[in-house]
Amino acid sequence: MTNFAKRMAYMQATADVIRYLFDSMTDPETISFGGGAPAREALPVEHVHDIAAEVLTREKRGVQALQYGNPIGIPELRQAVVERLLAPKGLQSKLEQVLIVGGGIEGLNLICQLYLDPGDVILVESPTFVHAVEVFKMFEARCIACQTDDHGLVIEDVEAKIKQYSPKMIYVIPTFQNPSGRTLSLERRKALAELGSQSDVVILEDDPYAELRYSGEALPPVKYFDQTGHTIFANSFSKIFSPGSRLGYVFADASIVRKLYDAKTATNSHTNVVTQILCAEFFNRGLYDAHLKHICDIHRERRDVMMECIKTKLPAEIKSVYPDGGLFTWIELPEHIDTTELLRDAVAQKVAYMPGREFFVEGQPIRNNCMRISFGGVVPEKIQIGMDRLAHVIKSKL
Amino acid sequence: MTNFAKRMAYMQATADVIRYLFDSMTDPETISFGGGAPAREALPVEHVHDIAAEVLTREKRGVQALQYGNPIGIPELRQAVVERLLAPKGLQSKLEQVLIVGGGIEGLNLICQLYLDPGDVILVESPTFVHAVEVFKMFEARCIACQTDDHGLVIEDVEAKIKQYSPKMIYVIPTFQNPSGRTLSLERRKALAELGSQSDVVILEDDPYAELRYSGEALPPVKYFDQTGHTIFANSFSKIFSPGSRLGYVFADASIVRKLYDAKTATNSHTNVVTQILCAEFFNRGLYDAHLKHICDIHRERRDVMMECIKTKLPAEIKSVYPDGGLFTWIELPEHIDTTELLRDAVAQKVAYMPGREFFVEGQPIRNNCMRISFGGVVPEKIQIGMDRLAHVIKSKL
């Protein structure tokens, strides 16, 4: 049978673990802290239903919704991005600097199409987002991890690795990072943007969680400090509107957006117009502010319950990150416990999580004793039950 | 500023012409035979509206529609593909052989991810679909055109070029081809499938127009004759349901679909669930058969009006293809007329078409005197007016 392309050889290992985890979650009895899904109770089902019933008619926007669209996205949604999402972060954007994409991963994919040749190096956080690494591997890039601490990427290590590896790109999730839940400090954001400009390296800033802040003060994005256009700001509507609608956006210099337009055309022509219209109406009817408060209230409670469970149910020697927002916390078990192996025990006990090993790449120690715990998709009572189960599984290995 | 990847250098020229054409079409006075859009009157706006109003509720499918989905697609839509779309073509498929993608172009893109390394050769028809060539260029593949006649690809030339170029893939639109409107004969379909198997070359069969047949007898796809799994069948819902919903599917051996799952994951996680549900309900409520008849009636009339206009309004020395279905006819002007240059005159006269040059690649003569005429998106009265304008522009050059 015809040989697959070289890039496919890099995909296998990660995909298998994710697929196993995905399969395990189809059991309704299993309480899963494994995925990255937001609360189903936080999805704007009623708003979307009402909007669809009103606007998807032939008199209003039904024809536009079902006909071909423009690769750059519909103007109303791009305008909503400029006014409702970028401006509140202090980001001044013109309409031609915003391209709508089919979700957060697609934004990363298109930016990789623009910049990555096989063998190019991309610096990432340690740990980093597993699905982003899948994208980078597909482009046959070499991912090198940089050191992180409680305040995110350690800039000195990034500088050293730029000198050592001459990377094309630095990938960072500065706020409520996936998987660690950590946030990059203000000073480091500024330093990272300047480093991108000085070293002529693209900073790919992925920011899907920043709006989900439950405590502490909002910080400006890395992009805010970018003077030269080296930082590209990629984002998703998955956490603030809905994952299933597959919407995201990229904000960058207009010259870059023009190239993204070409890459988008050769990837899937354009993003589906149906959900673009539903989402644009959601913003333009002024529903977003109250909905975001609702989402944050739901997830804040889950964060609080989860952190209390970690404190009270898990053994004292276990470390965790207290996240000021987002969907994740990160747990470190004693070094002798391999969380990839432990997952099979956990699934047998009807609880799941994401093994930490998947989030590490070369350049920093690969740590087998960590796990990502996603609290967003589980109701508080089930967080309690699930953490009882997980505590039981962990204690059996101590 | 950071250098773009090598692949981006291959994208520019085509994209510029398409973009010019796209811009010209925003003038509401211009009658455009340039795009590939189906009739707006043929879009199932009322069906989609009713389905959305009924099923996008929290009690029914609203939560599923807005939550993360599976990279392979929702089972109901894949089942509809198996039963309502593949079976009528004589294609027997198991559910695990069907992957839902974000439109026809995305299917091609994902298949390229699986097979194409930079420099790989892909054989195509001459002329061939310009947006497919954009995808192949993005993968830094070398497109080599094979000879065609009124019955499609000339198999002897394909055989010769397989020997000469050792291609990885052969790309073919066998039915109502884009841009020529021609259909590959039964014997050649069988021969092509066998050639793929014998030569270990992937046959990428792109079949978005076959359902839009207005005259003549349906033919089985190339895939029907495939004994070894070398033919991959890619299709789109754009012409039979709606382009804006961005839905398509790939039917292939399960081992290939499993790899496509990985590529899809690293491209955009999964296809949006909202339009998958709307489309699955459209099929499962039994609305498709009557709707397809409606679509065919509308487009048949436009085909007939267009062919009559070509016969009566254009000079007798101009050749055209009589298509038994689909959205396109192909016109050959006298050799001294360059249709790319002529487009500016045409747009000044408020009529547009797609210049033929864009559809040619190396391996066969690049012909400047052809144009693709898309009749699907224009109402009959405007076809008359637009063809009067086009006849005027053409006659001024004779």
**DSSP string for residues in A339-357:** HHHHHHHHHHTTEE-EEGG
Evaluate whether residue A109 is within a structural domain. yes
Evaluate whether residue B1 is within a structural domain. no
Task: List the beta bridge partners of residue A205.
Answer: A172, A233
Which pLDDT band holds residue B2 (cuts at 50, 70, 90)?
confident
Residue type at position A166: S
Contact B66 A56 (CB under 8 A): no
Q: What is the mean pLDDT of residues B158-165?
A: 98
Helix (H, G, I), strand (E, B) or coil at A116: coil
Instruction: Indicate if A61 and A144 belong to the same structural domain.
Output: yes
| CA neighbor of A186 nearest in space, from A146, A212, A219, A210 | A219
Evaluate whether residue B188 is within a structural domain. yes
Q: Say yes or no: ipTM exceeds 0.95.
A: yes
Q: Which of A1, A2, A230 to mutate to test the interface with B (most CBs of B within 10 A)?
A: A2
Task: List the beta bridge partners of residue B169.
Answer: B122, B202
**Shortest CB distance from B242 goes to which of A4, A46, A66?**
A66
Chain B residues whose beta carbon lies within 8 Å of the beta carbon of residue A202: 2
Percent residues over pLDDT 90 in chain A? 93
**Shortest CB distance from B66 goes to which of A56, A117, A245?**
A245
First to last CA, chain B: 49
Interface of B with A in 256-275 (CB under 8 A): 259, 261-263, 265-275
Which pLDDT band holds residue B26 (cuts at 50, 70, 90)?
confident
How high is the pLDDT of residue A92? 98
Instruction: Indicate if B122 and B171 belong to the same structural domain.
Output: yes
**Shortest CB distance from A67 goes to which of B43, B68, B131?**
B43
Instruction: Indicate if A198 and A108 belong to the same structural domain.
Output: yes
- Using the Cβ of A316 and the Cβ atoms of chain B, whether some distance falls under 8 Å is answered with no
Contact B266 A135 (CB under 8 A): yes
- Using the Cβ of A180 and the Cβ atoms of chain B, whether some distance falls under 8 Å is answered with no
Chain B residues whose beta carbon lies within 8 Å of the beta carbon of residue A18: 265
Cβ contact A192:A232 at 8 Å: no
Contact B69 A113 (CB under 8 A): no
Instruction: Indicate if B77 and B170 belong to the same structural domain.
Output: yes
pLDDT of residue B14 exceeding 90: no
Evaluate whether residue B133 is within a structural domain. yes
Instruction: Indicate if B306 and B194 belong to the same structural domain.
Output: no
Reading the block at residue B338, the tokens are 């360059």
State how far residue B162 is from chain A, nearest Cα, in angstroms. Answer: 14
Reading the block at residue A97, the tokens are 């600097």
Helix (H, G, I), strand (E, B) or coil at A59: coil
- Residue whose structure tokens are 């709307």: B278
Q: Which of A284, A307, A322 is the last residue of a domain?
A: A284
How high is the pLDDT of residue A18? 66
- Using the Cβ of B201 and the Cβ atoms of chain A, whether some distance falls under 8 Å is answered with yes
How high is the pLDDT of residue A22? 67
CATH at residue B179: 3.40.640.10
Q: What is the mean pLDDT of residues A356-366?
A: 95
Instruction: Indicate if B357 and B389 belong to the same structural domain.
Output: yes
The percent of chain B in helix, strand and coil, each rounded to the nearest 5, is 45, 15, 40
Instruction: Indicate if A149 and A223 belong to the same structural domain.
Output: yes
Evaluate whether residue A1 is within a structural domain. no
Instruction: Indicate if B252 and B331 belong to the same structural domain.
Output: no
- Using the Cβ of B379 and the Cβ atoms of chain A, whether some distance falls under 8 Å is answered with no
Chain A residues whose beta carbon lies within 8 Å of the beta carbon of residue B8: 113-114, 259, 262-263
Contact A48 B66 (CB under 8 A): yes
State how far residue A7 is from chain B, nearest Cα, in angstroms. Answer: 8
Report the alpha-carbon distance of residue A105 to residue A229 in Å, rounded.
Answer: 21
Q: If you ran DSSP here, which 8-state letter would residue A115 be given?
A: H
Q: What is the mean pLDDT of chain B?
A: 96
Domain that holds residue B342: 6-44+290-395
Interface of B with A in 324-363 (CB under 8 A): none
**Shortest CB distance from A113 goes to which of B115, B138, B269?**
B138
Percent residues over pLDDT 70 in chain A? 96
Which pLDDT band holds residue B25 (cuts at 50, 70, 90)?
low
Q: Tens digits of per-residue pLDDT, B199-239?
A: 999 999 999 999 999 999 999 999 999 999 999 999 999 99
Angle between helices B254-268 and A12-24 (to 10 degrees): 90
Reading the block at residue A16, the tokens are 């298998």
How high is the pLDDT of residue B16? 66
**Shortest CB distance from B244 goes to which of A53, A65, A114?**
A65
Instruction: Indicate if A26 and A50 belong to the same structural domain.
Output: no
- Using the Cβ of B320 and the Cβ atoms of chain A, whether some distance falls under 8 Å is answered with no
- Residue predicted with more confidence, A17 or B132: B132
pLDDT of residue A12 exceeding 80: no
How high is the pLDDT of residue A2? 81
Instruction: Indicate if A66 and A190 belong to the same structural domain.
Output: yes
**Shortest CB distance from A115 goes to which of B4, B48, B267?**
B4
Q: Tens digits of per-residue pLDDT, A295-342?
A: 999 999 999 999 999 999 999 999 999 999 999 999 999 999 999 999
Evaluate whether residue A250 is within a structural domain. yes
In degrees rounded to 5, what are phi and psi of residue A149?
-135, -160
Instruction: Indicate if A99 and A28 belong to the same structural domain.
Output: no
Contact A52 B57 (CB under 8 A): no
Number of domains in chain B: 2
Contact B8 A262 (CB under 8 A): yes
pLDDT of residue A195 exceeding 90: yes
CATH at residue B370: 3.90.1150.10
| CA neighbor of A320 nearest in space, from A297, A353, A348 | A353
Contact B244 A201 (CB under 8 A): no
| CA neighbor of A396 nearest in space, from A331, A327, A349 | A349
Q: Which of B259, B284, B309 is the last residue of a domain?
A: B284
Q: What is the mean pLDDT of residues B358-382?
A: 96
Q: Return the half-sphere exposure (C-beta side, CA atoms, 13 A cut-off) of residue B180.
A: 22
| CA neighbor of B235 nearest in space, from B222, B251, B258 | B251
Instruction: Indicate if A193 and A49 belong to the same structural domain.
Output: yes
Q: Which of A259, A284, A309 is the last residue of a domain?
A: A284
Interface of B with A in 118-157 (CB under 8 A): 118, 120, 131, 134-135, 137-138
Chain A residues whose beta carbon lies within 8 Å of the beta carbon of residue B58: 45-46
Q: Which stretches of chain B are DSSP H helices?
A: 12-24, 45-55, 62-66, 75-80, 104-115, 130-138, 155-165, 186-199, 254-268, 273-284, 288-313, 339-348, 380-395
Q: Tens digits of per-residue pLDDT, A60-84?
A: 999 999 999 999 999 999 999 999 9
Q: What is the pTM of this model?
A: 0.97
Q: What is the mean pLDDT of chain A?
A: 95
In whole angstroms, what separates CA A106 from the centre of its chain? Answer: 11
